[in-house]
Amino acid sequence: MLKGTIELLGDKSISHRAIMFSSISKGYNRISNFLMGEDCLSTISCFKKLGVGIEIKKNDVFIRGNGLYGLKKPSDILDVGNSGTTIRLMMGILAGNNLEATLVGDSSISKRPMDRVINPLREMGCDIIGDNFTPITIKGGNLNPIHYKMPISSAQVKSSLILASLYANGESTIIEKSKSRNHTEIMLKSFGANINVDSLKIKVNPVDELFSQDIYVPGDISSASFIIVATLITKNSEVIIKNVGLNETRTGIIDVIKKMGGNIEIINNKTICGELVGDLLVKYTKNLNGIVIEKDLIPRLIDEIPIIAVLATQADGKTIIKDASELKVKESNRIKSVVDNLKLLKADIKETDDGMIINGKSKLKGNKIKTYNDHRVAMSFFVAGLISEGEVLIDNKDCVDISFPGYFDTIKKLIK
């Protein structure tokens, strides 16, 4: 069983944005409870190459911003590692700066589609060398405003266009297909950006400067999801997770758990740096029920679907996950990687074009699974191993450091 109280390192999405926005602000910034995962460290590395002064002290980061137009031409390529957030958001920033930079990443990034950002940036007048995949070279400066109706729901694409719009010579309008995580809008406003949000419509006006901020990064609900599910499905467990970010665009997993009958409670709500933060009290739940997960709920839990699939194997009845084709272009094809691995553990699961169908309740059996170097797959199947008959062997445990350094030790400390 799992017992105890823990506090997690900072949210990955917010940590990325805190580095980026601080780097293009004017003044001295302090970022507290920063996530020292490999993805976020890739963002730091890229902005150091762009001439930004960045210093790390324990879990805090100190940045002296270069100002909105103050980035320097890098003498080397910008390597984003495994981070899709880094490359897509940076493209928006680089598009507005009068410099040339080339972006590359690891083997996973080289397979992830970038035309979803490249095409609208070209509409704004940005000179980009490259097609759908890395390497991509951006020659920035002199952007026109854009009126863009997004064909997909993507916080990364939206954020990239918002950032580019800060540099445009007039007002831009971005219309979302459905509501995606809005950390960019919240944080940029605190830095002094002129952004107005009306439902799915976002209007961005150019500004002369952004101004430094002190930022506290709340705990990452995506990271918390693995501990939440481990607690729900492991007998006699009860865990409190403190200071978790509860932004409504990210709490789809809590909605799903409640619909499934899971015992989860939010306590001690507060607002920090514009973000809702609270503690989560989670208890083992014997009787979970299958549900349908679809439509506008999907963008609010897209990163949590691998661990939700594990949860669904322990629910009575059928769980259907659909409208989630974006899973195919994550660090791995997460539909295939999750379904294939759960089949190895003897779960009753079927792959569909845009999701999966899971029939519970299953007694999971130990086996060796393949992570495809995907951190969320590795973390999900470690949780599956807590309740399986026999050991679940994970072929690459190191990939969890991308988003959750210390993950295995964190859970082991809760095991009583």
372-415 confidence digits (pLDDT tens): 999 999 999 999 999 999 999 999 999 999 999 999 999 999 99
Quote the CA–CA distance of 280 and 5 in Å, as a whole number: 10
SS3 category, 137: strand
The answer on 262 and 126 residing in a single domain is no
E-assigned strands of 201-330? 201-205, 214-216, 238-245, 263-272, 275-283, 292-293, 317-321
Would 228 be classed as within a structural domain?
yes
Q: Is pLDDT at 124 greater than 90 in this prediction?
A: yes
DSSP letter, residue 56: E
The answer on 231 and 245 residing in a single domain is yes
Would 3 be classed as within a structural domain?
no
- Residues near 376 by Cβ (< 8 Å), separated by ≥ 6? 222, 303, 306, 307, 330, 331, 334, 403
Would 376 be classed as within a structural domain?
yes
Averaged pLDDT for residues 268-290: 96
Type of residue numbered 404: F
State the catalytic residue, choosing from 11, 39, 79, 303.
Answer: 303
Quote the CA–CA distance of 84 and 375 in Å, as a whole number: 13
pLDDT > 90: percent of the chain: 98
Provide the Cα torsion 359, 362, 366, 370; round to 10°.
20
Last residue of a domain, one of 166, 200, 216: 216
Short-list 136, 88, 87, 134, CA closest to 111 = 134
The answer on 199 and 250 residing in a single domain is no
Q: What DSSP string runs through 61-125?
A: EEEEEE-TT-PPPPSS-EE-TT-HHHHHHHHHHHHHSSSEEEEE--TTGGGS--HHHHHHHHHTT
The answer on 226 and 203 residing in a single domain is no
Last residue of a domain, one of 198, 216, 234: 216
Q: What is the pLDDT of residue 59?
A: 87
Domain housing 249: 221-414
Quote the CA–CA distance of 138 and 163 in Å, as a whole number: 15
The answer on 225 and 163 residing in a single domain is no
The answer on 260 and 168 residing in a single domain is no
The answer on 257 and 124 residing in a single domain is no
Would 229 be classed as within a structural domain?
yes
129-158 confidence digits (pLDDT tens): 998 999 999 999 999 999 999 999 999 999
SS3 category, 285: coil
CATH of the domain at 91: 3.65.10.10
The answer on 257 and 175 residing in a single domain is no
Would 98 be classed as within a structural domain?
yes
Would 6 be classed as within a structural domain?
no
260-278 confidence digits (pLDDT tens): 999 999 999 999 999 999 9
The answer on 203 and 238 residing in a single domain is no
Averaged pLDDT for residues 102-112: 96
Phi, psi of 358 (to 5 degrees): -120, 125
Last residue of a domain, one of 183, 216, 249: 216
The answer on 401 and 264 residing in a single domain is yes
21-57 confidence digits (pLDDT tens): 999 999 999 999 999 999 999 999 999 999 999 999 9
Write the CA distances from 144 to 87, 129, 141, 259, 360, integer angstroms: 21, 18, 10, 45, 53
- Residues near 103 by Cβ (< 8 Å), separated by ≥ 6? 77, 78, 80, 87, 90, 91, 94, 134, 135, 136, 137, 138
- Residues near 150 by Cβ (< 8 Å), separated by ≥ 6? 157, 158, 174, 175, 176, 177
Is 11 among the residues known to form the active site? no
The answer on 227 and 210 residing in a single domain is no
HSE (side-chain half, CA atoms, 13 Å) at 14: 33
- In the chain, how many domains are there? 2
Write the CA distances from 140 to 91, 93, 171, 264, integer angstroms: 9, 9, 18, 47
The answer on 208 and 229 residing in a single domain is no
Averaged pLDDT for residues 1-18: 96
